[in-house]
Structure 1
Amino acid sequence: MVRAEVATAGEALIDLIQEADGRLRPCNGGAVYNLTRALGLQGVGTLYLNPLSRDRFGRGLADGIARAGVHLARPEPTHEPTSLAVVALDSAGKASYSFYREAVADRQVSAEGMNTACEAAAGLKVVATGCLALVAEDSDKYLPWLKAQRACGRLVVVDANLRPAIVPDMRAYQTSVMAALAEADLIKVSDDDLVTLGFEQADPVAAARALLARTSARWLALTLGARGAALLERDGTGWMAVESQPVRVADTVGAGDCFLAGLLVALLQRPAMQSAKRASDLALEGADIGAMLSHAIASASLCVEETGCTPPNLAAVERRLQRGHPKLHAL
């Protein structure tokens, strides 16, 4: 029997990162794959629910999973090819994506199969998904799984992480994303995600509060790039944290994924989380929120200092926090 605290479900693909000379450099990627590896590298028992291809890229993805200490729910590779994403970087290192995802390995999942794998995992407390898993075409797979996991009392985490370039029908995409967010206990969004979802308040914190009010989630994590991040609670309280140490940005690929991993690592360390039998029992205090935001920002900062998504291990995050915690204040 596999022991895991977190089960993740969603895309695993190859980022073809465009270099200055036009060449494409392949890197293991995909938001959920990045999150999965980042959790494993920080010592969290993690179960990845999607299959990987038997092609060369799929073997590389499987090797990355193994090196992070993550368990594969479906260790036998499939014959479908690996998903691809072409990544362009602007002058600030910010990434934009084009995707190739028809009839690919990581989309060969079902709600029944994912639920069965979760039930077989001992100690499972959290399930997480997002990004490309939220497209309307796949909602019949992921939405029933999320509903079932929430009914089981597990903490449901959904990272909106929208990719509008991949969808022909934006309204259907927005509807599908909102349906998934409606099943979440913890939502993660960026300021760009809020605009894509139609929350266009000038203040992104106000936009995030409006999104939170449209769901039944208890917490919402908002990332603002170099301006820091916030964690909002349903009762209206919230905290903002900003990095206090210099960050030398190579690129931002995987930054949000490492942020979410760091947030979950610190959450799983909280005594309140360890003692809660169901997600509905969980109550977080200000000290918990501060620890979670600090760990999340440190994880993201270490990621952006490397090229591509290079998640830090737990020791690296702890060393960074020893040098100084992010600045924290109440909203």
Structure 2
Amino acid sequence: MTSAENAPTAPASVQAAVAGEALIDLIRRPDGSYLPCLGGALYNLCRALARQGVGTQYLNPLSRDRFGRELAAQLAGDGVQLARPDPVQQVTSLAVVNLNAQGHPDYAFYREGVADRAVSAQGLGDACTALPALQLVCTGALALDARDTAIYLPWLAAQRAAGRCVVVDANLRPSVMPDLAAYRATVHAALAHAHIIKASDEDLDHLAVPGTDALDRARNLLAANPQAHLLALTLGADGAWLLHRNGTQCFAREAQPLEVIDTVGAGDSFLAGLLAHLLRQAQDAGAAGFVQFVEALTAEACGQALRHALASASLCVMEQGCVPPGWDAASEWSRARPALAE
């Protein structure tokens, strides 16, 4: 099903609830002008999950300004439900994005008094309580700003206590945080609630996780969070790892170089592909619950989910901006271009 054919999901069919930033990326062009694009890591994740066939709800409010209306329209077009359908007066957050020669983005954010921060732990929790089929919740990135600790940390704790799978994408933006030590502490505090952790090699550096290399640091981060079952480590063009609490390790990397346009939304598409595949596997297996399925994940299931996640990211980087693939496109890519594995 294409995004144009999607209709917003009903509360009874929502499997994933996502909380965090929705903003406008102003991407600098070679001529010095800026191209406005809908973005934000958690906003991108919502779109990517819905395109992969996962019933998804975005929990944060959106602005009534023109950018907010565009953000809402795109979510509706992709089939994402809004927990807060009535827009708020606060303005939409902005991110100025400069791309380097490899298409890797560098961000500057404008987030004071913005719409997506006009939320409370109670409001997030109430929205989740109204979703009877909810399997997982996800946050990360700018939501882990130390100034918003009172919003997201109590909500994560409550969702874990309610038996839902907690997913945290570290996705650090240290250059825009006024207090790096407090930011790092907040990210670690959020990770302490997670069943599933996603981190890049850069995230591990920013978090000051000890280790001889990225894989060693990822193992140490998983060891430092004994409540977590699964950790996804992304390495950009060098592939990705999945590390499970039971000792399973899976690696995948594209066998052939990609024609990369930019990497905006690649990590979000990766995480969406991973979660969509795990949810589908759990459903096909008749699992009693998603948390229990992830806890007992086999090496074969781990590898299949990782390859689908990698395919999802690969398709995204060959587009300008965040254009997440659908389930069928990612599945076909994975079949047609088998990834290298270790």
Counterparts of 2:180 and 2:240, CA distance in 1: 26
1:226 counterpart = 2:237: yes
The offset of 1:271, in angstroms, is 3.3
State the match for 2:320 in structure 1.
307
1:241 counterpart = 2:252: yes
1:103 pairs with one of 113, 118, 122: 113
Q: Is the 8 A contact 2:282 2:290 kept in 1?
A: no
Q: Deviations over 1:201-241 (max 9, x none)?
A: 33100001111111121110000001000000123331111
| Paired amino acid for 1:295 | H
| Paired amino acid for 2:271 | L
Could you say what secondary structure the match of 2:338 adopts? coil
State the match for 2:217 in structure 1.
207
State the match for 2:340 in structure 1.
327
1:127 counterpart = 2:137: yes
Structure 2 stretches lacking a partner, 5+ long: 1-9
Q: Deviations over 1:67-89 (max 9, x none)?
A: 11010000000010000000010
1:195 counterpart = 2:205: yes
Judging changes above 3 Å, is the alpha-carbon distance between structure 1 residues 51 and 200 closer, same or farther for their aligned structure 2 residues?
A: same
State the match for 1:144 in structure 2.
154
Q: How many aligned positions are there?
A: 329
For normalisation by structure 2, the TM-score amounts to 0.94
State the match for 2:300 in structure 1.
287
Report sequence identity in percent: 55
State the match for 1:256 in structure 2.
267
Q: Deviations over 1:103-149 (max 9, x none)?
A: 00000111111111111112100101110001111110000110010
Q: Is the 8 A contact 1:160 1:193 kept in 2?
A: yes
Q: Is the 8 A contact 2:282 2:293 kept in 1?
A: no
Q: Deviations over 1:238-273 (max 9, x none)?
A: 111111244110001110000000000100011377
State which drifts further: 290-299 or 266-275: 266-275
Judging changes above 3 Å, is the alpha-carbon distance between structure 1 residues 107 and 66 closer, same or farther for their aligned structure 2 residues?
A: same
State the match for 1:19 in structure 2.
29
The offset of 1:42, in angstroms, is 1.1
Could you say what secondary structure the match of 1:270 adopts? helix
Q: Is the 8 A contact 1:8 1:47 kept in 2?
A: yes
RMSD: 1.3
